């Protein structure tokens, strides 16, 4: 359900992530549940699917222990646009250009360190899935 992810900590209290979802896969799963991204209910379900995917790496998940717990995101921001060469967030060797991503999404990253932004079902995540 996740195409791209960039973890962010930068000496902060907790790790966050910016996530580019695999919209096609999300849409297929939502459709099987009688939902889509045009409704708030569908967008909430999509966020819960993404959260469950991240949760697979946390304690009790299928991939528990693969990474130190402190490296795993406490919350995430869903992005509407993928990282590409065209937007210069991926370079010609297909590596993320971290500085460009951090600059482009600085407000989203800062928002994740607020009380509202740490919540899964925050307005910015819901809007990104429209």
Q: What is the pLDDT of residues 6-46, one digit of tens each?
A: 999 999 999 999 999 999 999 999 999 999 999 999 999 99
Q: Per-residue pLDDT averaged across 54-71, rounded?
A: 94
Neighbours of 50 (CB within 10 A): 22
The three-state secondary structure class of 127 is: helix
What is the token pair recorded at 7?
């973890």
Distance CA 19, CA 3 (A): 8
Q: What is the pLDDT of residue 26?
A: 97
Q: Does the pTM exceed 0.85?
A: yes
Per-residue pLDDT averaged across 104-119, rounded? 97
∠ Cα 115 117 123 (to 5°): 125
Q: Which two tokens stand for residue 40?
A: 């708030």
DSSP state of 114: S
For residue 85, what pLDDT band results from cuts at 50, 70 and 90? very high
Helices (H) and strands (E) in the chain, counts: 5, 3
């Amino acid at each position: 359900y996740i195409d791209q992810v960039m973890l962010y900590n930068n000496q902060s209290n907790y790790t966050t992530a910016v996530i580019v979802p695999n919209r096609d896969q999300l849409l297929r799963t939502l459709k099987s549940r009688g939902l889509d991204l045009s409704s708030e209910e569908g967008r909430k379900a999509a966020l819960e699917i993404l959260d469950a995917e991240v949760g697979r790496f946390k304690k009790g998940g299928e991939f528990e222990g693969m990474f130190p717990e402190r490296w795993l995101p406490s919350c995430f921001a869903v992005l509407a646009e993928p990282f590409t060469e065209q937007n210069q967030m991926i370079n010609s060797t297909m590596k993320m250009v971290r500085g460009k991503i951090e600059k482009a999404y600085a407000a989203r990253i800062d928002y994740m360190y607020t009380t509202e932004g740490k919540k899964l079902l925050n307005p910015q995540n819901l809007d990104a899935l429209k």
